[in-house]
Amino acid sequence: MSIILGIDPGTTTVGFAVIEKSGRNVSILNYGVITTPPKISIALKLQDITKDLEDLINTYHPTVCGIEKLFFFNNQKTGIDVAQARGAILLTLQKKGIQIYEFTPLQVKRGISGNGSAKKEQVQNALKIIFKLETIPKPDDAADAIAIAYLASLQKNRL
């Protein structure tokens, strides 16, 4: 049995998912978002994200984490802030000794739906089928984190 964390990085909203893999069976233990107030400094946002992430790690004790790689942002300030949040997340994971797998958005879409240019709804419907959910996981950031955790669970030589 392995516990896998999935992270969709952001600054105001960070998607997270915790899944369990036992043999070929996977199940969702928890998912949601870490939120920070929109108008606070980036330093305070990073502090809040790090604390909430540490709480998740201390609760579930994951050994592996999948995290989304950054892609091009139209807004340079947003991209820099998300990069800083991603750095704080990576540092927290590294300090806790958690093995990290990084995926581009294209890899996530292709790995879940079979199509690298799939729409969010297609990925969410695929997750509904994979995890036998009654409804599509929401919000979008949490659904993305579930997909990322699932891809991390499929990596060879680790689980």
- Residues serving a catalytic function are 8, 68, 141
Q: How many CA atoms lie within 13 A of 46 on its CB side?
A: 16
Sheet holding 2-8, edge to edge: 25-35, 13-22, 2-8, 64-68, 99-103
- Paired with 100 in beta bridges are 65
Closest CA to 129 of 150, 108, 115, 145: 150
Neighbours of 156 (CB within 10 A): 5
